[in-house]
Structure 1
Amino acid sequence: MDTTSTGVDSEVGRLRTVLLHRPGPELARLTPRNNDALLFDGIPWVGRAQEEHDVFAQVLRDHGVEVLYLRDLLVRTLEIDAARSWCIDAVLTDPRLGDALRDALRSHLDGLHPEDLAYTLIAGLAHEEFGAGRGLGFALMNRNDFVIDPLPNLLFTRDSSVWVGSRVAVCSLAMPARRRETSVMAAIYDHHPRFAGVESIYSSRLETLEGGDVLLLAPGVVAVGTGERTTPAGVERLARNVVGRGLAHTVLAVPVAQDRATMHLDTVCTMVDTDAVVMYPNVADELRAFALRMVDGELVVRAPAPFVEVAAEAMGIDELRIIDTGLDPVTAEREQWDDGNNTLAIAPRLAVAYERNVETNVRLEAAGIEVLRIPGSELGTGRGGPRCMSCPIVRESLHKVAPGHG
């Protein structure tokens, strides 16, 4: 893969193109009544969240990164009939609707301009906004109930798709509130001219797998967390697909605690250099990995060993350096909750992080990592940091490393 091709083979190669979603009216749909179901821990101030996101995007542009906005890609995609039909059908599969409401909704969506259809697919449609609604299900809805649920978590573009080499994996999201995100991403990758000819190596119909659990430790080495959102079966399926296609020689399955604070592997560990990770110290000694490799056409699972040891061996380096978040347990726990570990590397030793994680940022800089601080008080209400909010599409390739032994 040369420096101009579409694709990603590491977490830290110079970032050239990234996919973001600027938060919009879908965040204004959050209320104390629905925020838990929609996976937010608070009610964000939408205007401030947009300002914070604009700062993030500008920091990336200032460092030579092309920023693609999901909504812009979606509008262009919805000009294509097959893509429109795909996205509308994904809405209409909701079993709550009933035939009468489903027919009325199809007629409404079919008549929308691509701009308006994109708005509705992302922001949702409330009962009180849909004058053409009919059927028993519609009659029994509260006026503020959603005929089409909004997608506030679309902000976290890392989860719904991830690139491995020159191929893209459209993920299979675990939580009901997020599953329709993948129909939007599949439409974009399948039909937008920017991605013509790109092969998909995963789909939303397969076992649950989320991009926040997928870390490209080095060319040929992929770590995948398994816990609240990604199942072991999802890890195994991805491993077969990437190793079988020669996109990786080793996949590391990394069990993580199944709770809200550690929902993905990238909430406890992200890379900031070719041989360094920032890691939540409470898990550094406990994190283990199973190495998966193809031997004579069969996927072989090795016995678990400490993550940092297995990773270093697979990466072909002597040691994977750990920069931990916080000197004391309270600080570490606070900054892990505030996504202190969830950094986005723009290049080796250059990372974007939330400014509020003061201790973690100081420790990163002491270890030789330049930190680009961004505000995130409102963006963080959905439990995600700079890495969660970004899907790298093009990174400059790192030099290939030899496979680890064994």
Structure 2
Amino acid sequence: MEAIPLGSNSEVGRLRTVILHRPGAELQRLTPRNNDTLLFDGLPWVAKAQEEHDAFAGLLASRGVEVLLLGDLLAQALASGAARMHGISAAVDPRRLGIPLAQELSAYLRTLEPDALAHVLMAGMTFDELPFASTEFSLVRRMHHDGDFVIDPLPNLLFTRDSSFWIGPRVAITSLALPARVRETSLTDLIYAHHPRFLGVRRAYESRSAPVEGGDVLLLAPGVVAVGVGERTTPAGAEALARSLFDDDLAHTVLAVPIAQERAQMHLDTVCTMVDADAVVMYPNIVDSLSAFTIHKVDGGGVKIDRAAPFVEAAADAMGIGKLRVIDTGLDPVTAEREQWDDGNNTLAVAPGVVVAYERNTETNTRLADSGIEVLPIAASELGTGRGGPRCMSCPAARDPL
């Protein structure tokens, strides 16, 4: 079958190809001592999380979506020698391990087959899993406990939205803000650079400094992008992204949207996602307060930044529509807060007016259905422990254009 052309210019065009990550051994590394550092609110039952994720992937496939699994893509890309060097150098930190141990570990990793190397790069490695005796030459090894990580695991790989996003025919590699997630982009970068499926794909934006995370980026309409600015994406990151998209003619307007710098609202898509070409579902507690600074591309390569205005009005104006339809979940404050925490506003559109949502958010889903949106519910008793919904867990690589 001929490969589906890659690219996207909206949040809601019919979904054709998506990148997911099936939960794996990296989640089994979580303990009560490290789950906070690794950004999980609990210890997921991994087998159940896998079952729920398989159902999610199966639902998308039943709707005609090509599902690519990140772990498979990584293992396939690691058939390249250059990809192996890329992955190993990102995972082995001589500043933390010391040069002797780092050299020994790198040499060992170079002997692994692609599947085994992919497993280590995702699931990490503890000192007691080192296959060689290093105590004689490494003070670092002597002074660490056996269960400490020599390579940290990446449990947040589950949320493939954050480390890259597609805009037009290009892919943007982001810069993740928190230490537990920084190395994720090295794997994403490796896949796009070396996997045959992405041969010839050009980059839209690559940041090595100011953080930008994909969960903060909404493609409101062709040429119009909203970027949340809060806990994970900085003002400098939003500005750098806007200027890069303008330079590459991938957007003409970017809305910088301040959001609360807190865990419950870590990304813009935790409080607002698009469910149709002219409609969003939004956390009711912020509908009236959410604002946006509109950044315009101007002739000569410069930018113009408008004063802050209500987000709903600024978005409609930038999109060229009379009014942005807001599906305010209209719930009592307690239920609204509970369902927002459980990712009720984090939906994945598979077509205009058709979204995947967590089944547990019954009130929000009812409001969506009452507004004419078809809701495809999925279970999430374990998938939600990392605070991310269907949109967070998916990187759309191909949508039909609007």
TM-score bucket of the superposed structures, by smaller chain: over 0.9
Stretch moving more, 130-139 or 12-21? 130-139
Name the structure 2 match of 1:139.
142
Q: SS of the counterpart of 2:294? A: strand
1:254/1:289 contact within 8 Å kept: yes
Which aligned pairs between 1:344-363 and structure 2 lie closer than 5 A? Answer: 344-363=348-367
1:276/1:323 contact within 8 Å kept: yes
Distance (whole Å) between structure 2 residues aligned to residue 180 and residue 4 of structure 1:
29
Which aligned pairs between 1:22-41 and structure 2 lie closer than 5 A? Answer: 22-41=22-41
Correspondent of 1:200 among 189, 203, 206: 203
Name the structure 2 match of 1:5.
5
Task: String of CA shifts for 1:141-170, please: whole Å, max 9, x gaps.
Answer: 111111000000000000000011111111
Task: String of CA shifts for 1:242-296, please: whole Å, max 9, x gaps.
Answer: 1221111100000110000000000000000011100001111111001111212
Correspondent of 1:294 among 292, 297, 311: 297
Name the structure 2 match of 1:381.
385
Name the structure 2 match of 1:73.
73
Distance (whole Å) between structure 2 residues aligned to residue 90 and residue 63 of structure 1:
37
Q: Does 2:152 match 1:152?
A: no
1:208/1:229 contact within 8 Å kept: yes
Which aligned pairs between 1:274-353 and structure 2 lie closer than 5 A? Answer: 274-296=277-299, 297-353=301-357
> How far apart are 1:204 and its partner, in Å?
4.5
Stretch moving more, 352-361 or 320-329? 320-329
Stretch moving more, 320-329 or 19-28? 320-329
> How far apart are 1:107 and its partner, in Å?
1.2
Which runs of no fewer than 5 residues in structure 2 stay unpaired?
none
Name the structure 1 match of 2:106.
106
Distance (whole Å) between structure 2 residues aligned to residue 147 and residue 226 of structure 1:
33
> How far apart are 1:326 and its partner, in Å?
4.5
Q: After the TM superposition, which segments of 4 or more aligned residues of structure 1 sit over 4 Å from their partners? A: none
> How far apart are 1:305 and its partner, in Å?
0.1
Q: CA RMSD in A?
A: 1.1
Q: Does 2:20 match 1:20?
A: yes
Name the structure 1 match of 2:215.
212
2:278/2:325 contact within 8 Å kept: yes
TM-score, structure 2 as length reference: 0.97
Distance (whole Å) between structure 2 residues aligned to residue 378 and residue 92 of structure 1:
31
Task: Name the amino acid aligned to 1:370.
Answer: E
Task: Name the amino acid aligned to 2:260.
Answer: A
Distance (whole Å) between structure 2 residues aligned to residue 133 and residue 232 of structure 1:
47
- Change in CA separation of 1:365 and 1:183 when aligned onto 2, cut-off 3 Å: same
| Count of matched residue positions in the alignment of Structure 1 and Structure 2 | 396
Distance (whole Å) between structure 1 residues aligned to residue 86 and residue 41 of structure 2:
31
Task: String of CA shifts for 1:327-370, please: whole Å, max 9, x gaps.
Answer: 20000000000000000000011000000000000000000000
TM-score, structure 1 as length reference: 0.96
Name the structure 1 match of 2:44.
44
Which aligned pairs between 1:234-273 and structure 2 lie closer than 5 A? Answer: 234-273=237-276
> How far apart are 1:94 and its partner, in Å?
5.6
Task: Name the amino acid aligned to 2:213.
Answer: E
Task: Name the amino acid aligned to 1:17.
Answer: T
Stretch moving more, 373-382 or 322-331? 322-331
Give percent identity, aligned residues only. Answer: 65
> How far apart are 1:104 and its partner, in Å?
1.4
Distance (whole Å) between structure 2 residues aligned to residue 230 and residue 86 of structure 1:
25
Task: Name the amino acid aligned to 2:12.
Answer: V
Which aligned pairs between 1:177-188 and structure 2 lie closer than 5 A? Answer: 177-188=180-191
